[in-house]
Amino acid sequence: MNKLFYIETYGCKLNQLDTERIRDAFHAAGYTETDDPAVAEVLVINSCAVTQNAEKESRYRLRRLQRANPDARKYFIGCFTETQAIPGAVFLRGKEKFQIQELINHIPPYPEIQKKHVRPLIHIQNGCDLNCTYCIVPYFRGPSISVPQEAVLDQMNAAIRAGRNEGVFTGIHLGTWGKDLVPKQHFLDLLQFIDKHTENRFKIRISSLDSNEIPDDLINYLRNSRLVQPHFHIPLQSGSAGILRRMKRRYSPEQFQAVVEKLRKALPEACLGTDVIVGFPGETEEEFAECYRFISEVPLDYLHVFPFSPRTGTPAATMPDKVPDTLKKERVKQLKALSDKRRNRFIHRFIGKEREGILIYPDLVLTDNYISVHLETSTKMSPGSEIRVKLIQTTAENTVTGKLA
CATH architecture of residue range(s) 354-404: Beta Barrel (2.40)
Q: What string of pLDDT tens digits covers the 405 residues of the chain? A: 579 999 999 999 999 999 999 999 999 999 999 999 999 999 999 999 988 888 999 999 999 999 999 999 999 999 998 888 888 899 999 889 999 999 988 999 888 778 888 999 999 999 999 999 999 999 999 999 999 999 999 999 999 988 899 999 999 999 999 999 999 999 999 999 999 998 778 999 998 999 999 999 999 999 999 999 999 999 999 999 999 999 999 999 999 999 999 999 999 999 999 999 999 999 999 999 999 999 999 999 999 999 999 998 999 999 999 999 999 999 999 999 999 999 999 999 999 999 999 999 999 999 999 999 999 999 999 999 999 999 999 987 778 999 998
Q: Which contacts (CB < 8 Å, 24+ apart) does range 23-27 have?
A: 23/111, 23/116, 24/108, 24/111, 24/112, 25/98, 25/100, 25/103, 25/106, 25/107, 25/108, 26/102, 26/103, 26/106
Using a cut of 0.85, tell me whether the model's pTM lies above it: yes
Tell me whether domains 3-103 and 121-348 share a fold: no
- For the chain, the domains span 3-103, 121-348, 354-404
Residues β-bridged to residue 401: 374, 393
The fold adopted by the segment(s) 3-103 is: Rossmann fold (3.40.50)
The CATH code of the domain at 121-348 is: 3.80.30.20
